[in-house]
Chains A and B, each alone.
Chain A
Amino acid sequence: GAGVSQSPRYKVAKRGQDVALRCDPISGHVSLFWYQQALGQGPEFLTYFQNEAQLDKSGLPSDRFFAERPEGSVSTLKIQRTQQEDSAVYLCASSLGGGENEFFGPGTRLTVL
């Protein structure tokens, strides 16, 4: 389909490993968002891109988290030296522009052992 896709859908990492989560937004969508969702909680904002520019990264919990969108389309969220508290679902969303409704992907469930 033409929706937002994320890969992998599930990722198990050993504590201390680096992981990379991929998001393919809807073609033509300018804005891209990453969220972290813990079990039973609402999604928490991590970072926001407008094209390739990362306009807001205030939600990234530590310097172990890094996101990029080098060509203004596909985005990667990288987590270095994973910790158990990083276990969560990582959601990606895209929209036509700022303030437009967001289309979410299915998420990547990360489990850190």
Chain B
Amino acid sequence: LAKTTQPISMDSYEGQEVNITCSHNNIATNDYITWYQQFPSQGPRFIIQGYKTKVTNEVASLFIPADRKSSTLSLPRVSLSDTAVYYCLVVTNTGGFKTIFGAGTRLFVKA
């Protein structure tokens, strides 16, 4: 599975837009990109998934350039409750697989 690289931590203020970029240079044709969010003492929670271009849901947007070697998770107007760890994963759907989490990005949202 493609290895991912993302910043260790980021700081932001309430109401700002936060963009977290993830590098996945070895992504393969069948791979797609998934982001999870994890709060302390909870399991990770799915945020968004995409293959190319842009995907948007009620929580976030995911931007993937044409070469797919990176992706950017965009969180609009963050609040204190968005303080969490965000994981970028590259997942291959070949029927049998394992999901590889990195260390994630710790986002701190300040008042």
**Contact residues of A with B, CB < 8 Å?**
4, 33, 35, 41-45, 48, 50, 55-56, 58-59, 91, 93, 98-99, 101-107
Residues from chain B with a CB closer than 8 A to the CB of A43 are 44, 101
A-B residue pair count with CB separations less than 8 angstroms: 62
A41 and B43 contacting across the interface, CB-CB below 8 Å: no
Q: Take A42-B103, A43-B44, A106-B43 as given contacts and tell me if A50 and B97 are in contact as well, using a CB distance cutoff of 8 Å.
A: no
B98 and A56 contacting across the interface, CB-CB below 8 Å: yes
Dominant secondary structure of chain B at its interface with chain A? loop
Q: Which residue of A lies closest to B85 (CB)?
A: A42
Residues from chain A with a CB closer than 8 A to the CB of B94 are 98-99
**Partner of B44 from A56, A98, A99, A104 at Cβ < 8 Å:** A104
Q: Take A42-B102, A99-B91, A101-B34 as given contacts and tell me if A48 and B43 are in contact as well, using a CB distance cutoff of 8 Å.
A: no
Query: How many B residues touch A, CB cutoff 8 Å?
Result: 25
A44 and B101 contacting across the interface, CB-CB below 8 Å: yes
User: Is residue B100 contacting chain A, with contact meaning CB distance below 8 A?
Assistant: yes
Residues from chain B with a CB closer than 8 A to the CB of A93 are 43-44
User: Is residue B45 contacting chain A, with contact meaning CB distance below 8 A?
Assistant: yes
Residues from chain B with a CB closer than 8 A to the CB of A45 are 98-101
- Closest beta carbon of chain A to B103's beta carbon, Å: 5
B87 and A42 contacting across the interface, CB-CB below 8 Å: yes
Residues from chain B with a CB closer than 8 A to the CB of A48 are 96-98
- Closest beta carbon of chain B to A1's beta carbon, Å: 13
Residues from chain A with a CB closer than 8 A to the CB of B104 are 42
A101 and B101 contacting across the interface, CB-CB below 8 Å: no
- Closest beta carbon of chain A to B76's beta carbon, Å: 21
